[in-house]
A and B are shown apart, each in its own frame.
Chain A
């Protein structure tokens, strides 16, 4: 197996990409799903293999495309940070796929189902590609592969507003990607390289001669990636896109798409620009901190007043992304570790929540909060799983969300900002309100007549949901995978930088 072992980095992309080509030739939804399931099942093993090899050797894995040595050829470079995010994305793919079968079968016309799985696999390989590549331009190409697939996935929603949301996301997403590529172009003009490692080495000396293009490049890349990761106030595409996309697409994208963009931002700030330029020469800490706090509070308020359950969770996603960027803004060990932990935990919790809503939509066909009243009595297991993941979102001790917020609070204290800890707790109280509102509707109201005959979803939908709800609790106690690795990643990313 040594031969195959060597090619793990490229197989990570090729397996889903090849699956996408195969599904494009099938005409049956079941066959397409089987191919998608096989590809999604192989991917996490490859990620886990990469992560294990890196933790054993402590050295990054470099894979050169077509034997063209870096920095001339495209290099796939996997270090602890990539491997961590790769594992997250491929795991979400793995738990999503059993769920997909029934959910997609009811929501997508049968002749479109093979194409739907093609888009899913393209999206998966694009997202994995963004994370694994060591080349700035290659990251753009993968960003666009995943984005184009995402627009299609969203546009396949049943409501006609899905088309409108997909169009709006296409406009904003393309502007974001183009801003990113303008930034890459400016960097290429002054350094002559596109390889992340090579860029990191050349930006320092180039900064003496051409400070302005480099700072402009940083600004372009920040805005471009922030559009993709839905940093407040560039999040306007997200609530509608998540609300009207098919249930499976929402759950999968909520766990993965924004996370890959966050990875790219962390890679640019901490590896390529080597921490000091963004955080010393530009007021990135202040800007991102203010935007993160705005996201945490304003988006949470929007969630509280939202009547559509999916939109409520979508606004909550914007708020939770605020926590992640908050840790990036702090740029210290605990803060950055908190960000990375929350990337993982939020993906698990939010996918679980959207799974639960998707299951409710599968049985009831509605998603407005008033019409879900009493759902807790009709679908007790699904609702209970929703509540567990919701508690995680709030950050109740004993759930994954508490660990994230604990790290972020430590980061704030490390920075000497105790007031920030207070704000983190205060914004969590807003999550108590919107999760609490759902609990009140689900348990303390009489089931409406529409819900007569509603029962638990089929096991293929229930089991992935329960697995994620269990993981939410498990990660609240065992933090070796999240906290342990995230702290190590934060240490090497900061490399002695003190803010």
Chain B
């Protein structure tokens, strides 16, 4: 197998890695608190792909036993990721609620400006 075939065979992993690193980069590099949460969301979403893509088998069907089908996709990763999505939504909700409160108290949601305001006190 040439290098390109290896990449083509595992392209789902490369997408996962790209999303993961891009999300983490946004969290670290951005000062705007909403953008940070967006990055965090992207980072968490990449994990869904990491679990789901190997669980899906091409030509496989939902795991309901029937004589017409012999290839089934693995249901467990899907169930796990449903839970992870719920966790992600909850985290985002708490994060956004905190940003709203921070905006009320400080009048800004930029980290550098907030630190500057606290220094002044």
Binding site for B on A (CB under 8 A): 137, 140-141, 144, 148, 151-152, 155, 160-161, 163-164, 166-167, 170-171, 174-175, 178, 181-182, 185, 188-189
Contacts and interface: CB of A to CB of B under 8 A. Distances in A.
A189 B114 CA distance: 43
12 contacts: A148-B90, A163-B105, A164-B118, A167-B33, A171-B95, A174-B95, A178-B44, A182-B47, A185-B50, A185-B51, A188-B51, A188-B77
A155 B96 CA distance: 12
Chain A interface mostly: helix
Interface in B64-120: 77, 80, 83-84, 87, 90-91, 94-95, 98-99, 101-102, 105-106, 114, 118
Contacts of B77: 188
B40 A171 contact: yes
Nearest to A155: B98
A141 B88 CA distance: 11
Contacts of A175: 24, 27, 40, 43
A161 B84 CA distance: 29
- Please provide the 9 A-B residue pairs with the shortest distance between their CB atoms, ordered closest to farther: A160-B105, A167-B98, A144-B87, A163-B102, A185-B50, A163-B101, A185-B51, A170-B95, A174-B91
A144 B90 contact: yes
Nearest to B95: A170
Contacts of A166: 98
Contacts of A163: 98, 101-102, 105
B14 to A, nearest CB: 15
B31 interface: no
Contacts of A182: 20, 47, 50
Contact of A181 (B24, B84, B91): B84
Given A164-B114, A171-B40, A189-B54, A151 B90 contact: no
A160 B98 CA distance: 11
Contacts of B114: 164
Interface residues of B, number: 29
Contacts of B54: 189
Contacts of B105: 160, 163
A151 B98 CA distance: 9
A188 B90 CA distance: 24
Nearest to B40: A174
Given A163-B101, A175-B24, A170 B47 contact: no
A174 B47 CA distance: 12
A160 B90 contact: no
A141 B47 contact: no
Nearest to B77: A188
Given A137-B80, A167-B99, A144 B47 contact: no
A148 B98 contact: no
Contacts of A185: 47, 50-51
A148 B90 CA distance: 8
Contacts of A141: 83, 87
B33 to A, nearest CB: 7
A178 B20 CA distance: 10
A49 B119 CA distance: 51
B94 A170 contact: yes
Nearest to A186: B50
B51 A174 contact: no
Given A167-B98, A181-B47, 12 more contacts: A137-B83, A140-B87, A144-B87, A144-B91, A155-B98, A163-B98, A167-B95, A170-B94, A174-B91, A185-B50, A188-B51, A189-B54
Interface string B17-42: 00010001001000001001000100
A114 B40 CA distance: 30
B27 A171 contact: yes
A171 B36 contact: yes
A66 to B, nearest CB: 14
A178 B118 contact: no
A144 B51 CA distance: 18
A463 B87 CA distance: 38
Most buried by B among A144, A174, A182: A174
A478 to B, nearest CB: 42
B51 A170 contact: no
B43 A170 contact: no
A13 B100 CA distance: 32
B70 to A, nearest CB: 19
